[in-house]
Copies of this chain bind each other. A is one copy, B any other.
Amino acid sequence: MVDGIRDTVRVAVLVSGGGTNLQALINAEKDGRLHPCEIKLVVSSNEGAYALKRAEKEGIKQAVCKDEDELLKILRDEGVDMLVLAGYLRILSGKFIHKFKKPIINIHPSLIPAFCGKGCYGLHVHEKALEYGVKVSGATVHFVNEIPDGGEIILQKAVEVKSDDTPETLQRRIMEEAEWKLLPKACVIVAKEIIKSRKDGREGNL
């Protein structure tokens, strides 16, 4: 608290799979690179997600939830200030985004506007990039709006595509060289904006 204004940002991370981007956020928090963010909650769209195990290991509260109204309730109960989609394979409805009102960010494994949009997720993205024959791909962190991968871009980082890449090797290199670095940085950028907006009395209207 500074001048009666809370100086941390409560983050919920939405996951569906292995949770390597969640791990990058956890590592950043441990190293002090995630301040003013605090990871308060991990919500998975499915029970089997290894990301839940990662959260459990760190003592972070977990939930499994497929219903948007239920998700909204959980986020409100925890006082979540910001939502991070880290390999979340569901598309949030416009209704949800409108109701939640607070910043939602997503990481996408390409340089948007290339290889993005509906149906372009996970390995598909890298398959499409290799099929096209690009020599550079990368990752993008962006705000989430009603258009899949269509919100304002926060950060991007380019990654070289190698001639012998498979979708799997390209996916891994983009994770290591771009995603795991970008996501914590983008969280901090947005969180600082949230705190600034608190001081201006406009939180929720970023």
User: Taking beta carbons and an 8 Å cutoff, which residues of A are in contact with B?
Assistant: 111-115, 132-136, 138, 140, 152-153, 155-158
| Interchain CB contact under 8 A, A135 and B114 | no
- Beyond A111-B134, A136-B157, A136-B158, 18 extra complex contacts between A and B, CB < 8 Å: A111-B111, A111-B114, A111-B136, A111-B158, A113-B114, A132-B153, A133-B152, A133-B153, A134-B153, A134-B156, A135-B140, A135-B153, A135-B155, A135-B156, A136-B138, A136-B156, A138-B158, A158-B158
**Nearest CB on B from A118, distance (A):** 17
- The chain B residue sitting closest to A113, CB to CB, is B114
22 residue pairs of the A-B complex, CB under 8 angstroms, read A111-B111, A111-B114, A111-B134, A111-B136, A111-B158, A112-B134, A113-B114, A113-B115, A113-B132, A113-B134, A114-B114, A132-B153, A133-B152, A133-B153, A134-B153, A135-B140, A135-B153, A135-B155, A135-B156, A136-B156, A136-B158, A138-B158
A132 to B113: give the CA distance in the assembly, Å: 8
Closest partner residue, chain B, to A154 (CB atom): B135
A93 vs B155: C-alpha distance when bound (angstroms): 39
Write out the residue numbers on chain B whose beta carbons fall within 8 Å of the beta carbon of A112. 134
Residue of B nearest to A151 (CB): B133
A135 contacts across to B, CB distance below 8 A: 140, 153, 155-156
Which residues in B have their C-beta under 8 angstroms from that of A132?
Answer: 113, 153
Minimal Cβ-Cβ distance residue in B for A129: B113
Nearest B residue (CB) for A152: B133
B residues near A156, Cβ cutoff 8 Å: 134-136
Give Cα A136–Cα B141 distance, bound, in whole angstroms. 12
Contacts of A152 in B (CB 8 A): 133
Closest approach, in angstroms, between the C-beta of A129 and any C-beta of chain B? Answer: 9
Task: List B contacts of A140 (CB < 8 A).
Answer: 135
